[in-house]
Structure 1
Amino acid sequence: MHDIRAIRENPAAFDQALGRRSLPSMSSQVLALDEARRAKILAAETAQAEQNKASKEVGAAKGRGDEAEFERLRALVAEKKAEIARLNDEAKADDAALRDLLMTIPNLPAADVPEGADEAGNVEIRRWGTPRSFDFPPVEHYQLTAVAAAADRGLDFEAAAKLSGARFMVLKGATARLHRALAQLMLDTHVDTHGLTETWTPVLVRPEMMYGTGQLPKFGEDSYETTNGWWLVPTAEVTLTNLVNDETVAEATLPRRHVAYTQCFRSEAGSAGRDTAGMLRQHQFEKVEMVSIVKAGDSPAEHERMTACAEAILQKLELPYRTIVLCTGDMGFGAIKTHDLEVWLPGQNTFREISSVSNCGDFQARRMNARFKPADGGKPEFLHTLNGSGLAVGRTLIAVLENGQQADGSVTLPAALHPYLGGKTTLTAEGTLA
């Protein structure tokens, strides 16, 4: 959420930043609500002072036997009491309207984010690895013999459709084990090498947690709500970030770096018709999520560190990728800056997103009322929060299958996975490990 004081002090800068996102100016609408709210608060305070004064004079009028003045003052007290209640109610309504409006306005991009209307404006920062040259036409993951043939195939789309419908997946046998091994490699690397704290969190949360990280109110249709009001998390960003919801933590406890491996649930309401083949875009999937909670001045460097953590997993798996910075028109709702990692998929002959690492500044912290107490005893300040995939496990499985595919339908597996697979190095055309 935005700092209303900053908007009051420099509305032109606020509108200019929104303009970089190709959004209309909103400062006048915000400030009109803010001014109406403040005017009613001031009027209520003035009426309260008048009520207090009249209340003190009532007794004096009664004591000197001035019945007319007594009745006038008593009526004035009742009138002011009703006026104060009305003004307070109106101020609360304006405050709620202002908060609701601010909740729907996206974060402002950092100054160094490139401008652009859509993904065409994204800027590549670097590449790692060289896409493999094939002596046969590479296919997509769902076309591989190892996962598309035999009765007990590794990726069973038909069983998933029978159980749940479109955009679900059943993994079997060696492919299921490979999926699990990828998650284990990610967790071990982030904990043992990168120093993140492994954290296990619920996948059902209260609505205020979804508000805290920005999934609500604007993107409710993209998530699933249960009949009793809980929400299924679209990512562990929701739970890990909200660990500091409504808290003031000591500066000495920062930075806080978490990693969690969870099921994630997304309705994909805005992606009808996109990536329907295979398991690239699913309603239920697994992801290893990183979240950092830091002081304001530390978030840019932390953003670079988290990006490097995600990149390290791709390098371990020997998967070619590129790192891009999203332009203003392609950034997510809560980010001030985002790096996307795109892995090479030879079956599609293109790079596809496998991780998104975002610095949210104090945007989420303001929504959550999450602060830290400076060690020097200064006034509490809002925290900065960051999140990133480290990585999306299903998409990583796709990349491993496609990049390691052989002409006979087998898949050569990255060396980093061998210890997690009992020393096995290959997913055979029959769907077993060898």
Structure 2
Amino acid sequence: MDILGMLPSFGGFMGAAIAFVVALSVIVAIHEYGHYIVGRWCGIHAEVFSLGFGPVLYSRMDKRGTRWQLAALPFGGYVKFLGDSDAASGKDGEAITGLSETERKRTMHGAALWRRAATVAAGPVFNFILSIFVFAGIFLFAGTTTDDAVIGKLKPLPGPVELFQEGDRIVRIGDAEINDLAEFYTVAQSLPSAEVVSYEVERNGETVTFDSVFPFPPVIDQLQPKSAAMDGGLEVGDVIQSVNGTPVFALSEVQKAAQSSKDNALELLVWRNGEVLEKTLTPRQRDLPTGDGFESRWLIGFSGGAFFEPPRVTLGAGDAIWGGAVQTWFIAKSSLTGMWYMITGAISSCNIQGPIGIAQTSGDMASQGAAEFIWFIAVLSTAVGLLNLFPIPVLDGGHLVFHAYEAVAGRPPSDKVLNVLMTAGLVLLLSLMVFALTNDFFCT
């Protein structure tokens, strides 16, 4: 039974809240464990490891003198090291003064500089490691497609798709010869929309010719969170048959209709398991990464593909981990590029989501199944790791800047300067949170 798929049965708000708490708890636990375990390796003593804030629901003391606790407010967590005055690793001057020289070396303020820096950096690094291994695990489980234009599995579609059989090798579309999957995609994308297309396939050593569905039909393979398609009740496997009364046979036709309609409603006829439904959706403007930057487009909010799934082969562990690292780098790079584009005004600042928006995205991804939700956790983990590296006092990146200053100057910033900077960092962080929360209410 797919437990995550049952989340919508709790209601939209409850489902999103549960998914958000689950995703955030996993990411925070890994982040804080990075701080804890590297600190322990470096000889820095952790007094408290807390998942959540506020009243303590459960706690236990381990043999090393660290209290592990679960708190009532599941919106973060922290590790309090010896000598810290608070969860943000502020300095407790009085407590440190009363410690011996040996004990001071076990604090976040008396240990060697490299030990403190490694402990601080470990949180974001563990977030990136989580992302890499989650992506790698998905790649290992799902495998990768072969290079051959061979039918692995047919999608359930209306029309003569059943003329194909699993194992058929597509060798021609119309007049174009097909040698591999890349050529299939190239030819299919260049075809004008048509109800049926001529195919030639190799089947059991023989050549078979027939007319069947357009190579890229308007079928929904995946729904985008917080999209018109998701909110309008479309489902994976749905096939768009007409837009505003005009029959459509290609995915590109739906995309063009959404782009030209902009914020005007579209009337859709949708085929779902033999039943035809009427849906009314209004496209939403989204900024999409293109590799060279971002492109603003009007979208319904779903992705599709070919009428079949190619055969898949298993990846080796090394290839899967490399793929996970590449995917994590792509997310981090796209996030930084997007932030720069927002600062310069090239794209909308509505791309910044607050807790409500992230919670809704969590619920939308969880409703599509475990694989999609786990993928989302990996994406969010990358974002959290990246955010924590920003050079803002209070965040890990701010502490690393202080450590860099100490390495150059030969001494840490004064306590007075640190207090001012930490206060300024907290104000900036809270301002960003308020701005993001405002987006949740006023951006669609």
TM-score, normalization: structure 1?
0.29
Structure with higher Rg: it is 1
